[in-house]
Amino acid sequence: MVIYKVSAVSYLNTLPFIYGLKKSELISSINLQLDYPAICADKLLNAEVDIALVPITVIPNLKCYNIISNYCIGADGAVDTVCLYSDVPISEIKKIYLDYQSRTSVALLKVLLKEYWDLHTELIKAEVGFEYTINGENAALVIGDRAFDLNHKHKYVYDLSALWKEMTGLPFVFACWVAIKDLPDQFIKDFNIALKGGLNNIDEAILSESDNYPRCVSSKDYLNQKISYILDGDKQRGMELFLKKII
């Protein structure tokens, strides 16, 4: 039996996908690895995995790839877990620390600084624990589950996908399922059936996986209302526009 290596994001927003894969017969033919987005990207770029739920900024750097699913991690407005946190207004920020777990969100912030705010703020690559040093004129971009703890701790919270929607009128795609090798049609079909199964059973997914994710948020509301999973035409247009802006 062929075993395909799969890297998926370990955040709460991916819980339905993980649950669907684990509950499917497909799980016996994949090696499922849970990573944060930048690691998913590195693994696919280095051909350490065959398939990844990959930050879309990686796509232009892949020589050969296929988007194998019409499911993604996206948002049509505010997402709550990709935010710039500050204790002063955006115009007064001197330094922004950039989440080391992110690539797409960092690129999105750069686009917004240039095109939405018209600012040239100093950007600094951050290290583990940086989210606890936000103070004064120092701000930080934080993504993923760690953002839940910060949403009520700082005076100014700038939700990047909400600002993208305001600027472009389009939803934003953070990650999509990409393969770097040809896969059998039946495998791709079964893979998407498994993803759909997880999305159709979000309540069960939450109950099954609740111990692995933060309790400081209404998981049901977040997964049903904030994350938008279908890679439809508007999301494809949003993704194409974003990639044009960063190339």
Q: Please state, in angstroms and rounded to a whole number, the distance separating the CA atoms of residues 182 and 153.
A: 46
Q: How far apart are CA 171 and CA 4, in angstroms?
A: 31
pLDDT tens string 135-150: 999 999 999 999 998 9
- The reported pTM is 0.94
Convert 140-156 to b/e letters by CB count within 10 Å (16 or more is b): bbbbbbebbebbeebee
How much is the pLDDT for 180? Answer: 97
DSSP helix, strand, coil percent of the chain (3-state; round to 5):
45, 25, 30
Q: State both tokens at 232.
A: 């439809």
pLDDT in tens, 33-84: 999 999 999 999 999 999 999 999 999 999 999 999 999 999 999 999 999 9
Q: How do residues 99-138 score in pLDDT, each as one tens digit?
A: 999 999 999 999 999 999 999 999 999 989 898 889 999 9
pLDDT, position 214: 65
CA–CA dist 142, 131 (Å, integer) = 7
Averaged pLDDT of the chain: 95
Check pLDDT > 60 for residue 231. yes
Contacts of 78 (CB under 8 A, 6+ apart): 159, 161, 162, 226
Identify the structural domains of the chain with CATH numbers, from first to last: 4-75+171-246 (3.40.190.10), 82-168 (3.40.190.10)
Give the three-state DSSP class for 4: strand
Q: Percent of the chain at pLDDT above 90? A: 89
**Model confidence at 11, in pLDDT bands (50, 70, 90)?**
very high
Rounded percentage of the chain residues whose pLDDT exceeds 70: 98
**Which pLDDT score, from 0 to 100, does residue 7 have?**
98
Interatomic CA distance for residues 141 and 6, integer angstroms: 27
Q: How confident is the model at residue 186 (pLDDT cuts 50, 70, 90)?
A: very high
